[in-house]
């Protein structure tokens, strides 16, 4: 991996950490900078949200994430496209109701104008791997 590629990987790792911090703190201004205007987010319930939807959820307090505990992070960069795979435990409130979830995020990032921005994201619920094995 060349120096430029290594720098892009390091910058994407840093951008992912900034995104997680912004989600934890409800910092919609930071999120606005980290999300591409065309971003689409598919949540664990299958609903697809736009950037405006996501920012409004944080601004209004409809979504408040108190805990974003990163358990694993994998970063891949190919040219000006990056992928982050994040396994995390989350706690907070959504729509006024408390929640706790273990989620696997897949985020597709694009690098332009000297910055990484999320273009697409998907989150899936991950079962508690410490519990009993599932039948099947």
How does DSSP assign 34-53, residue by residue?
Answer: HEEEEEEEE-TTS-EEEHHH
pLDDT tens-digit profile of 58-71? 999 999 999 999 99
pLDDT at 129 over 90: no
pLDDT tens-digit profile of 27-48? 999 999 999 999 999 999 999 9
Give dist(CA 131, CA 136) in Å, integer.
15
State the CB neighbour count (10 A cutoff) for residue 75: 19
Residue 133 lies in a domain: no
Domain that holds residue 104: 3-125
Task: Kindly report the CATH number assigned to the domain that includes residue 8.
Answer: 3.10.450.50
Rounded to two decimals, what is the model's pTM?
0.89
Residue 103 lies in a domain: yes
Residue 1: per-residue pLDDT: 46
Residue 127 pLDDT class (50, 70, 90 cuts)? confident
Residue 131 pLDDT class (50, 70, 90 cuts)? low
Residue 20 lies in a domain: yes
Residue 89 lies in a domain: yes
Residue 83 lies in a domain: yes
Residue 132 lies in a domain: no
Residue 36 lies in a domain: yes
Residue 131 lies in a domain: no
Q: What is the mean pLDDT of residues 4-26?
A: 96
Asked if residue 89 lies in contact with residue 101, where contact means CB atoms within 8 angstroms, the answer is: yes
pLDDT tens-digit profile of 69-110? 999 999 999 999 999 999 999 999 999 999 999 999 999 999
Q: How many domains does the chain have?
A: 1
């Amino acid at each position: 991996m060349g120096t430029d590629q290594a720098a892009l990987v390091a910058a994407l790792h840093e951008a992912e950490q900034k995104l997680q911090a912004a989600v934890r703190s409800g910092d919609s201004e930071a999120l606005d900078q980290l999300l591409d205007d065309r971003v689409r987010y598919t949540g664990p319930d299958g609903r697809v949200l736009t950037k405006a939807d996501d920012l409004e959820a944080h601004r209004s307090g409809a979504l408040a994430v108190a805990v974003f505990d990163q358990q694993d992070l994998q970063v891949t960069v190919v040219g000006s496209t990056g992928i982050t795979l994040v396994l995390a435990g989350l706690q907070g409130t959504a729509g006024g109701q408390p929640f706790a979830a273990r989620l696997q995020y897949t985020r597709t990032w694009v690098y332009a104008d000297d910055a990484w921005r999320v273009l697409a994201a998907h989150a899936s619920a991950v079962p508690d791997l410490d519990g009993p094995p599932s039948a099947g």
